[in-house]
Amino acid sequence: MKSWNCIENCGACCKFDLNERTDLEDKLNSEDIDLIVKMTSEDGWCKNMDRANKKCLIYENRPHFCRVTEFSIQFKEYLKFGDKFLIDCCKQHISSNYGKKSKEMKNFKLAITSK
């Protein structure tokens, strides 16, 4: 069974569009939404991500919605499917940001099968 694992040098989840994420309405409050808007650059990437190194500049102090293992428990799909839900989400983000055959996708697939 595959287990979800966050990989280094990815950051695919650091690019998002609130307009595409209608499933977050009941999981984020107005302060969270305001913070996301402030954290997001015009191109959709988080301003706190070092894009050259694909590392979070505020990792230790990142908001709750950036903490995958903490935030995911709010989704009924996670409660039902567990790691499969997280794996599918990561594959979707990695594919849309870097491509299905990207090094990030290859590294992710290796990480979830070797855990």
Token pair 């997001």: residue: 40
Structural domain containing residue 26: 12-114
Cα separation, 98 vs 104, in Å, equals: 7
Q: Does the residue 6 lie in any domain? A: no
Distance between CA 22 and CA 59 in Å, rounded? 25
Q: 12 and 44 in contact (C-beta within 8 Å)?
A: no
Assess if residue 3 is contained within a domain.
no
- Determine, yes or no, domain membership for 4: no
C-alpha closest to that of 12 among 91, 112, 100: 91
Q: Is 86 a residue whose pLDDT tops 90?
A: yes
Strands (E) across the chain are located at: 49-50, 55-56
Does residue 2 fall inside a structural domain?
no
Residue 66 lies in a domain: yes
What local confidence, expressed as pLDDT, does residue 32 receive?
Answer: 93
Residue 92 lies in a domain: yes
Question: What pLDDT was estimated at residue 94?
Answer: 96
Residue 14, classified by CB atoms within 10 Å of its CB into exposed (0-12), middle (13-18) or buried (19+), is buried
58-67 pLDDT, tens per residue? 999 999 999 9
Q: Please count the structural domains in the chain.
A: 1
